């Protein structure tokens, strides 16, 4: 009997790491408006699970913090 387990593809779906707006404010030490500005500029991704709440990507926030503020200045 042939072994078919070698042909099975396992793809694990990973849920994105997300935080609420208040948590994003606490991590970034900024205002609610600045968090919304970053999302509008596309610097951090966000999801809108309901009409009242946004969830923000923790990976994008960490990447934003890892980049120096004046990284583009030569």
- In the predicted structure, residue 69 carries a pLDDT above the cut 90: no
pTM over 0.75: no
Say if residue 8's pLDDT is above 70. no
Does the pLDDT of residue 1 top 90, yes or no?
no
Please list, in sequence order, all residues whose beta carbon lies within 8 angstroms of the beta carbon of residue 18, skipping any fewer than 6 positions away.
47, 55, 56, 57, 58
Phi, psi of 56 (to 5 degrees): -110, 145
pLDDT at 67: 83
**Which stretches within 1-74 are classed as H helix?**
21-28, 32-41, 58-66
Residue 15's pLDDT is: 75
- What would the pLDDT profile of 12-67 be if each residue is shown by its tens digit? 677 778 999 999 999 999 999 999 999 999 999 999 999 999 999 999 999 999 98
């Amino acid at each position: 009997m042939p072994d078919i387990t070698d042909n099975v593809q396992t793809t694990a779906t990973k849920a994105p790491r997300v935080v609420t707006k208040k948590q994003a404010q606490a991590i970034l030490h900024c205002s609610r408006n600045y968090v919304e500005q970053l999302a509008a500029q596309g610097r951090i991704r966000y999801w809108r699970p309901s009409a009242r709440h946004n969830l923000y990507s923790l990976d994008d926030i960490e990447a934003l913090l890892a980049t120096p503020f004046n990284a583009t200045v030569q």
